[in-house]
């Protein structure tokens, strides 16, 4: 679906969105409301009030792409927060895929593990560590 050789960030718009909005209107929401650059290559996710429709906006390096999906049964998870001014919900690409498949857990609980950070193999000067 949305492929890339780099790590993508996915940001969900924090309110129900009018699904009649096009490229320009959605990119304006990204800039004005999310405070992000829509040309960054990140994915920006919008959900309609009835949660039957969703749109993903992203720059693929050559143009602005708009992916739209309408569910025939069920509803998308509500990705908006009750608090005004809350930070946009950030998803992983795996969580985006689950969301677009109709998972109701997306946004309620972290579905992906935290990013792995490589710890040093030894601490210089620590007990049992290598010192020079």
Q: Which residues are bridge partners to 90 per DSSP?
A: 11
**Residue 50 scores a pLDDT above 70:** yes
∠ CA 52-104-64 to the nearest 5 degrees?
A: 55
Q: What is the pLDDT of residue 5?
A: 45
Is 112 a domain residue?
A: no
Q: What is the pLDDT of residue 129?
A: 52
Order of all β-strands in the sheet with 10-12: 64-70, 53-59, 43-47, 10-12, 89-91
Is 5 a domain residue?
A: no
- The pLDDT tens digits for 52-96 are 999 999 988 899 999 999 988 888 888 776 555 556 788 888 888
Q: Are 114 and 47 in contact (CB under 8 A)?
A: no
Is 35 a domain residue?
A: yes
Is 61 a domain residue?
A: yes
- pLDDT, mean over the chain: 79
**Residue 6 scores a pLDDT above 70:** no
Q: How confident is the model at residue 97 (pLDDT cuts 50, 70, 90)?
A: confident
Is 3 a domain residue?
A: no
* Structural domain that includes position 33: 10-100
- The pLDDT tens digits for 8-47 are 889 998 889 999 999 999 999 999 988 899 898 899 999 9
Q: What is the DSSP string of 9-57?
A: -EEE-SS---TT--HHHHHHHHHHTS---TTSS-EEEEE-TTSSEEEEE
**Residue 114 scores a pLDDT above 70:** no
Distance in angstroms (rounded) separating the CA atoms of residues 80 and 13: 7
Is 63 a domain residue?
A: yes
Provide the domain count of the chain.
1
Is 28 a domain residue?
A: yes
Is 4 a domain residue?
A: no
């Amino acid at each position: 679906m949305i492929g890339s050789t780099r790590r993508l960030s996915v940001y969900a718009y924090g309110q129900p969105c009018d699904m009649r909005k096009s490229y320009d209107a959605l990119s304006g929401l990204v800039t004005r409301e999310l405070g992000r650059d829509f040309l960054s290559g990140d994915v920006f996710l919008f959900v309609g009030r009835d949660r039957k429709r969703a749109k993903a906006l992203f720059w693929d390096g050559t143009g602005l792409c708009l992916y739209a999906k309408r569910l025939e049964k069920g509803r998308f998870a509500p990705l908006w927060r009750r608090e005004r001014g809350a930070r946009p919900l950030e998803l992983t690409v795996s969580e985006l895929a689950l969301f677009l498949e109709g998972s109701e857990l997306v946004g309620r609980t972290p579905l992906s593990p935290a990013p792995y950070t490589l710890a040093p193999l030894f601490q210089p000067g620590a007990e049992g560590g290598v010192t020079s």
